Each structure stands twice: as structure tokens, then as C-alpha cells.
Amino acid sequence: MTLPEHPAVPDLPGSAPDVPPVVEAPRRVEVGGEWRRVSPKYILVDLIGAGITAVIVIAVAILWAVLFQQAWQWWVMAALLVAIAIGAAFTPRRIRAIGYQLRQDDLLFRRGIMWTRVVAVPYGRMQLIDINRGPVARAFGLAELKFVTASAASAIVLPGLPEEEAEQLRDHLVVVAESRRTGL
């Protein structure tokens, strides 16, 4: 059985076509507000950490060379320094990919360039909200916020927040988490 052919109908001015136009889907779905990024100062904090790691690697390699008089440790040091340099080259993009979003019932957290991780933490499941300040981050006025839930897989560390923003966010989340937990 064959279907009958429909005659072609010309489009008249002002008439809508029978088929809706194809609309491209957005590349990133952002539900419930805008993504907030960490401070751009955190790029420098992370690069300083990479520099400190590089200095330690060089010092260990020199110490090893003086004590044991072997040449192979220079190749290991060179490989480690190349890995540190590659990581440092991706640092600005990696830091710009970190963000969070406060929604009605949960907090969304994202990070990663190639392997993006997006975690939704319900407010009622938050058990601990902790602020940590390392010495380099403290010098730049930054802190990290750590969210702990009953699930070990959903522990989130949000680095590079200005200290005031971290404290305000912690206080807000504690209040919201307490109000949501009473309903459990």
C-alpha cells in the first residue's frame, strides 16, 4: 500500500508553515539562575602552588644527585617539571571552569575542562560547611568552602572564593540547610 501524494502548496505571505522551524538547542543548560565563578586571583594562587611544587622537585633531584651521584634522577626531574608546566598552562582555563549555582532546593557545583563534573547537593543533606584558608590563599584574601554530606562521593570543595563571600555563603547555607532538615 502506498500513501497518496500531497500536492505542493505554495507559501502565502503571512501564512505560517506547517512544520515548525528547527531551533538549535543551547550548548549548556543553566537552570535556576546564573553560574557564579571563583575569584580570578585564584589562578595566581594555584600557579604559586605549582611553582612551590616545582622548587621541591628540583631540590629533591639536586639532593639525590649530590648524595648518590647518579644521572637518572635528572630525567625524572625533567619529566615531573614538564608535567607541572603543562598543568600550569591549563590552570587559567581550569579555574574559569569552576562555578556554583544556588537553586531553590540544592546547590549545583561544576568543575573540569575535558571531564566536566556537575554535582547537585540538596540543602537538607548538608551536614558540615567548613571554611579553609591556606597561607597563600589567605595572602590574596581567598578561602575555600567545603561541603560535607552523608555520601562521601558528594563532598565538594569550592576553592578561590573571596573571604567575605565564603563567610556569607556559609552562613546562608547553614540557615537554609537547617530549615530543610527539619522537614526530613
Q: What is the 3-state secondary structure (H, E, C) of 94-154?
A: HHHCCEEEECCCEEEEEECCCCCEEEEEEHHHEEEEEEECCHHHHHCCEEEEEEEECCHHH
* pLDDT confidence of residue 62: 86
Sign, CA torsion 34/39/44/50 = negative
* pLDDT confidence of residue 28: 36
Distance of alpha carbon 36 from alpha carbon 99, whole angstroms: 5
User: What is the Cα gyration radius of the chain?
Assistant: 26
Average of pLDDT values for 54-79?
Answer: 86
Distance of alpha carbon 150 from alpha carbon 61, whole angstroms: 42
Cell of 112: 573540569
Q: Which residues contact 29 (CB under 8 A, 6 or more apart)?
A: none
* pLDDT confidence of residue 182: 57
Average of pLDDT values for 143-164?
Answer: 87
32-36, 107-111, 157-161: range with lowest mean pLDDT: 32-36
Residue 172, pLDDT > 50, answer yes
55, burial (CB in 10 Å: exposed 0-12, middle 13-18, buried 19+): exposed
* pLDDT confidence of residue 23: 39
pTM summary value? 0.72
Residue 13 backbone phi and psi in degrees, to 5:
-60, 135
Residue 25 backbone phi and psi in degrees, to 5:
-75, 145
Residue 115 sits at the vertex; the CA angle it makes with 155 and 124, to the nearest 5 degrees, is: 25
**CATH 2.30.29, domain 99-181, yes or no:** yes
What mean pLDDT value characterizes the chain?
A: 81
Q: How do residues 96-105 score in pLDDT, each as one tens digit?
A: 999 999 988 8
Strand order in the sheet with 126-132: 126-132, 142-149, 156-162
Taking alpha carbons only, the member of 128, 123, 129, 130 closest to residue 179 is 123
163 by DSSP, 3-state: which? helix
* pLDDT confidence of residue 184: 53
